[in-house]
Amino acid sequence: MDLSFTPSEQAFRAEARAWLAANVPPGPYPSGDTREGYAWHVQWEKKLFAAGWSAVSWPAAYGGRDASLIAWLIFEEEYYRAGAPARVIQNGIFLLAPTLFEFGTEEQKERILRPMAAAEVHWAQAWSEPEAGSDLANVRSTAERVDGGWRVSGQKTWCTRGAFCDAIYGLFRTDPATERHRGLTYMMVDLHQPGVTVRPVERLDGDESFAEIFLDGAFVPDRDVIGQVHQGWKVAMATTSSERGLSLRSPGRFLATTTRLVDLYRRHPDPALRDRIADVWIQARAYQAYTYQTVTRMMAGGGIGADSSLNKLYWSELDLQTHTLALDLLGPQAELLADAPDAVDHAEWLLGFAFALAGPIYAGTNEVQRNIVAARVLDLPRG
Amino acid sequence: MHFAFTEEQQQIGDAVRDALADACPAGVVRAAWAAPDTAVRSLLADLGVLGLNLPEAVGGLGLGMVDAVLPLTEAGRAAAPVALVETIATNPTLAAIGEADLAAQVATGEAFVTLRAPGGYAVDADRAALVLVVEGDRVGVVRAPRLVAQPAVDGSRRLFAVEGDVEPTDADGRELLDRAALAAAAQLVGLSHHMLAMAVDYAKTRRQFGAPIGSFQAVQHHLVDALLRVRFAAPTVAQAAWHVDAGTAEASLQVAMATSLAADAASLTARKALQVHGAIGYTFEYDLHLWMKRAWSLSAAWGDARAHRARVADHLLGAPDA
């Protein structure tokens, strides 16, 4: 055990910190979940990519830096410490890309990864359907075999930033004789074609970043199938494991938020809340320690598996506690929107609270995560 | 950055685990309520655990707190009726105050040194060759203590109020108390693992409504909540131990973080394990209470979770009245 950073890890951190200090634009930023804001964020993503910071742990051949997972965690810590813009391309680089690295063909990696990291082609996840929320295996969308590929039909929903994206990835039933998690195939679908209708859905915070996507015979060429036909469930589980476990919500995010909470306390002190402030600050650092331990294991060849559900429970509940506490500190200012004259920190705590409320829902509800941990980590009998 | 125990550290932990599984079943823990244990302590001496962090010159292994984490965790898992927190905490102090002969006897199990918790009591003080206390930021020695027994909820923890002349030393009191809190935290992780394992086993076998109760989501989620807290506390204990060994400026803060998380995890796990067991867990005959009571004791004796969070809050936010 050596919890100090190596000279090369320290040099990497210094380089990232210096670049971010020189390049992160002054806030506040527009929301990346509106059409105009998304366009602004894409320009930032292009700048990140040009400097080689978009996906540091990827091979250089695809626009990364061949950085270790430890270095990636360091970059994330520095990124959030600098208060840099939220990553609007995260559902590509952090969710689809790990799947391509594990199951994709060379042709797919060559074709897809670099434009993804360069924010030239924009990717949205398309897991949920009206009848497949927590019960993802209840997918009803179908794919019918045709010459050179598949014709897909059905409805996908809650596709984050789907209204601004070029393509989606998700599961389609390729074997009509099957049920549940058998007979599904993991596919990528181009949204710019006949047979695709994208309808934005307003979220409770007023942004239009949700989308419903209606598919009516849209074409998916064979080259856009990831992994084996009918083996999509296995491929998808690899992605959801990344999403819950590590890549989507690295510790840097919560280290930064809890540090900003301490700063908020200095401006809005309330001695009755000291214990809770210390508690969330400690938990963010526990998540960091746990993650360095996990990554050390992964670098030695280990996996995450169902432990990723524990991560998801921990960060989502911590994030909600943290933002709830911030609103408690703010008292009468808690409800103010950014354009209110008395708004504190551009209302970021209220917006953060609204977003934190989604944490226990997205990426698989926390109730489902607890079921997964019960079955697969504690080996309890299934109900 | 490399966050993992070495193979050797894991082997020592496994050896302690295996030895205690044989020599310290629940019946031995229970028996220690009536007659103070000597056999388990002697076993830990044979395994090198009592002298783990004493210099090799006095018969110790010359190791540090990181090396002690897994043996302490395993002693917690077995609820070993041994005042190991006191031994691991006071060992480096003995070397610092020139008690080399006594240290050599501690390593073999011939002698025992105890430590009075701040504002509290000293375990097994009637059997101790020396009682250490912390006054201000320094360690003091009480050589001729007047003791008053203070029966406690965990019958294997024989507590005493300590009075008597305190001989001052230059040894650092904060470091001593940090080692004690950290040793307690490591034991709390082990205690939690065992309570959770008991509850999981029970939930798999106990049937109601025609099914094992562990198949019901309400029961499953209790157990997952406990697991979640234990899983995220454990690495902070290892991390704090590393900072203590490395002597970093934030070592004491790291101990406060780890102890608050481990104490909260153990308290929650005790609560959830009892709830899942139902009435059987509430009996004296069933073993769960032996572990619960140790968890209650250790999660408060060296500063409870709130006290350690207050230390963190002072660091982050300044003193409360500032």
Residues of B in contact with A383 (CB under 8 A): 211, 215-217, 220
Q: Under a CB-based contact definition with an 8 Å cutoff, are residues A145 and A189 in contact?
A: no
A314/B224 CB distance under 8 A: no
Burial class (CB in 10 A: 0-12, 13-18, 19+), B269: buried
Nearest to A255 by CA among A278, A284, A234: A284
pLDDT, tens only, A39-97: 999 999 999 999 999 999 999 999 999 999 999 999 999 999 999 999 999 999 999 99
Burial class (CB in 10 A: 0-12, 13-18, 19+), A15: middle
Domains of chain B as residue ranges with CATH: 175-317 (1.20.140.10)
What backbone torsions phi and psi does residue B148 show, to the nearest 5 degrees? -125, 120
What backbone torsions phi and psi does residue B227 show, to the nearest 5 degrees? -55, -45
pLDDT, tens only, B196-221: 999 999 999 999 999 999 999 999 99
E strand or H helix at B100: helix B100-108
pLDDT, tens only, A336-373: 999 999 999 999 999 999 999 999 999 899 999 999 99
Write b or e for each residue in B87-111: b if 16 or more Cβ atoms lie within 10 A of its Cβ, otherwise e: bbbbbbbbbebebeebbbbbbebeb
Q: How far apart are CA A216 and CA B228, in angstroms?
A: 43
Q: Under a CB-based contact definition with an 8 Å cutoff, are residues A252 and A77 in contact?
A: yes
Q: How far apart are CA B162 and CA A78, in angstroms?
A: 50
Query: Which of A282, A309, A315 to probe by mutation at the B interface, max B CB count within 10 Å?
Result: A282
Looking at residue A305, its pLDDT comes to: 82
Cis peptide before A28 (omega within 30 of 0): yes
Q: Under a CB-based contact definition with an 8 Å cutoff, are residues A2 and B2 in contact?
A: yes
Q: How far is the alpha carbon of B19 from chain A, nearest alpha carbon, in Å?
A: 25
Strands of the sheet containing B113-115, edge to edge, are B113-115, B130-135, B138-142, B167-172
Nearest to A211 by CA among A169, A159, A153: A159
- Residue A132 is given by DSSP the state B
Residue of A nearest to B213 (CA): A381
The pairs formed by A340-347 with CB atoms below 8 angstroms and a separation of 24 or more are A344/A264, A344/A267, A344/A268, A345/A260, A345/A264, A346/A27, A346/A28
Looking at residue B44, its pLDDT comes to: 98
Query: Which of B9, B198, B216, B231 to probe by mutation at the A interface, max A CB count within 10 Å?
Result: B231
pLDDT confidence band for A244 (50 / 70 / 90): low
A residues 105-164 lying closer than 8 A (beta carbon) to B: none
Structure tokens at B18: 């295996």
Q: How far apart are CA A58 and CA A47, in angstroms?
A: 17
Domains of chain A as residue ranges with CATH: 7-117 (1.10.540.10), 123-232 (2.40.110.10), 249-376 (1.20.140.10)
Residue of A nearest to B7 (CA): A1
**What parts of chain B have a pLDDT lower than 70?**
322
The question of whether A243 is a catalytic residue gets the answer yes
pLDDT over threshold 70, residue A245: no
Q: What value does the mean pLDDT take over residues A219-235?
A: 97
Q: Under a CB-based contact definition with an 8 Å cutoff, are residues B257 and A285 in contact?
A: yes
pLDDT over threshold 90, residue A205: no
pLDDT confidence band for A208 (50 / 70 / 90): confident
| Candidate list A129, A212, A243, A348, residue with the active-site label | A243
What is the ipTM metric for this complex? 0.97
CA quadruple A241, A242, A244, A245: dihedral sign = positive
Q: How far apart are CA B254 and CA A285, in angstroms?
A: 10
Residues of A in contact with B1 (CB under 8 A): 2-6, 9, 70, 292, 296
Find where tokens 């401006």 sit: A267
Looking at residue A243, its pLDDT comes to: 61
A380/B203 CB distance under 8 A: yes
Looking at residue A247, its pLDDT comes to: 73
Q: How far apart are CA A10 and CA A16, in angstroms?
A: 10
| Count of beta carbons in the 10 Å neighbourhood of residue A63 | 20
pLDDT, tens only, A57-71: 999 999 999 999 999
User: What is the number of residues in chain A?
Assistant: 383
Q: How far apart are CA A317 and CA A311, in angstroms?
A: 10
Interface membership of A341 toward B (CB under 8 Å): no
Structure tokens at B197: 């394992």
